Amino acid sequence: MIVPMTKYSFVLLSSGKEEFLGKLQELGLLDVTRSSKPIDEYSTGLLDKAGELRKHIADIEKDNFNRDPEYVRLRESLAAEKKDYASRLPWGEFDRKAIDGLAEKGLRMHFYSVPEKKFDPAWAELQPLEVISREDGTVWFVTVAPEAGYSFPVAEIEGPAGTAGECFEAMERTREAIKIRKEVLSDEKKDIPALKEEYAGLLNELDLHLAKASGESAAEQMLTLIQAFAPTENDATVREALDGMDGVYYMAEPATKEDNPPIKLRNNWFARQFETLTGMYGMPLYDEWDPTPVLAPFFLLFFALCMGDGGYGLLLIAIAYALKGCKGEGPMGLAKHWRLIRFLGIGTFVVGMFLGTFFGISLADAAWFPESLKKYLLVGNIGKFPLQMVLALAIGVFHICLAMVIKSLLYTKRFGFKENISTWGWTLLIVGGLIAFIVAAVAGLPADVTKWIIIGIAAVSALAIFIFNKPGRNPLLNVGAGLWDTYQMATGILGDVLSYIRLYALGLAGGMLGGAFNTLGGMVLGDHPTFQWVFFLIIVVLGHALNLAMSCLGAFVHPLRLSFVEYFKNSGYEGKGTGFNPFRKTVKE
């Protein structure tokens, strides 16, 4: 599948370009393109306004109330009130006026707090003493005495400014004020779409102004305009990093096909190994489809049929694990593709065994191969034609039919049904007709029923191909276009199907050449071998090594041709996209 992308548009002073690009390089998540334009007083004003608006939007999106002065003041007040409440709580409720009235009588209340272990009840004999509370190993108490001649063995503490109840009421009022302020700030979220639209408008106005500005501007500064793409799944990480950069103004929005974003593919553990082949042809456009999930199994099957030898499959598996152990890229850079080679080896072994060839030996004729397994070999004829050739053509027909169905579905998604009536007509005629014929043959339908089914399919297809292929256009032009399509399809489809005979021919040639080396080696060995074993091994080993190399080359090139030409042409795949190449630091090994 094609990974969804987010487009980022950046505007920054050219003086900070290198630093910014360095940060993007460290982030390593964006595919970047850039250009520069002259800056003047008007564009500077737009830039400053856009920067303030971007910060305001970021604060609202993050619920960043701590940048609001009133909210910060209320939070600080609440924190102070909580601390004050904790200090007042042990003293309980009291009448402050009564305490202040003691001064008129020449008395003063003194406040103390000591650990339980240090509290001495005998202190009551020194001064009138009253314990207010005991909690968590601490004793809070007061004394009342005249100012003159007062002394006490414990250091006095400052008394509470009021009761805990009064402080609690103040805390509740502050909490309510905070709640109201948060609601006011949260309501601003409703304005985010409008604010973003205003922000985008500023950047668009700036872009338009810079586009009109003369390249001979006398301004000393330049603006760098950067467009980048990153997978949407990385939005949170990218935005967090960008919001932490000063002097950078950006706009993020989902990428569209008009943006022509770079393409990143995501496939399962099997198809992922074949993404290299998709890239060899060209990455899909953003509104296309990823052909890799279909290309992977068919390329594996085609490769195995072209190799056609189970023994060579075992050699490829061995080569794959040898490449896995190589340091660096290995010979011809193949080490990184060892998993792909392993899959190709496994497929070659399985298919080669069914085709009945093992290191050039025909298993159908080998006395040592179990008779019970020979019935599963795909050897023999169907009528006058070799079974393997018929199988290759049948695979080709299925491959092309699948391509036509995919083209109809994907083109309808991309361009709409109205623009693809003719495409559906050809799919119905060829694929539908073929399915109807097979079902009739398997189910044993009467000839008359089969005839009318085929006539019905042909009639509907003809209307789609010749009459309604372009609704609203002159019918004569539609007929002419239909005739031209008919000529192209008649000549193209037949040639495409016949191309799949190469799957049979290459496998047959490889098997025959491997058998020839075995025969030549046997002739050298003779009936009474002595030192002839050396020459036998040289001929067989070198012969099969040469045959393996030639077979691998053919088995790689020809399946690619069947995929890139026959399949992609009939499936409508364009492959004009560019691969996702994130801007990151190169790691030196």
DSSP 1-54: -BPPEEEEEEEEEGGGHHHHHHHHHHH---EEEEEEEE--HHHHHHHHHHHHHH
Token pair in block for residue 309: 């030898």
The single-letter DSSP state of residue 124 is G
* CATH no., domain 1-40+220-264: 3.30.70.120
Element (H, E) at 257: none
Q: Give, for 478, the enclosing helix (H) or strand (E).
A: helix 475-499
Q: Are 409 and 420 in contact (CB under 8 A)?
A: no
Which run of H or of E encompasses 485? helix 475-499
Q: How many CA atoms lie within 13 A of 317 on its CB side?
A: 14
How far apart are the C-alpha atoms of 496 and 397, rounded to whole Å? 9
pTM given for the model: 0.67
Cα R_g (the chain), whole angstroms: 42
Q: Is the CB of residue 1 less than 8 Å from the CB of residue 265?
A: yes
CB atoms within 10 A of CB 224: 20
Of 552, 539, 561, 499, the residue nearest 309 (C-alpha): 552
Tokens, residue 276: 């290299």
Task: Count CA atoms closer than 13 A to 403's CA, side-chain side.
Answer: 23
Domains of the chain: which residue ranges?
1-40+220-264, 45-87+164-212, 94-162, 271-380+502-571
Residue by residue, pLDDT tens for the chain (589 residues) are 899 999 888 777 666 777 777 888 888 888 886 555 555 667 667 777 777 777 777 766 665 566 677 888 888 899 999 999 888 888 888 887 888 888 888 888 899 999 999 999 888 888 889 999 998 889 999 998 887 778 889 899 988 888 888 889 999 999 999 888 887 777 666 677 777 788 777 777 766 665 555 433 434 456 667 788 999 999 888 888 888 877 677 778 898 888 888 999 999 999 999 999 999 898 999 888 899 999 999 999 999 999 999 999 999 999 999 988 887 666 767 888 889 999 999 999 999 999 999 999 989 888 888 888 888 888 888 888 899 999 999 999 999 999 999 999 999 988 888 888 888 988 898 898 889 888 888 888 888 888 888 889 889 988 888 888 777 777 788 788 888 888 888 778 888 899 999 999 998 898 899 889 888 888 887 766 667 788 888 888 999 999 999 999 999 999 999 999 999 989 889 888 888 888 776 544 4
Q: How many angstroms separate the CA atoms of 345 and 363, rounded?
A: 19
Residue 418 per-residue DSSP state: G
| Nearest CA-CA partner of 282 in 297, 262, 267, 266 | 262
Q: How far apart are CA 32 and CA 268, in angstroms?
A: 27
Q: Which helix (DSSP H) or strand (DSSP E) does residue 135 occupy?
A: strand 129-135
Q: Encoding tokens for residue 14?
A: 């050219």
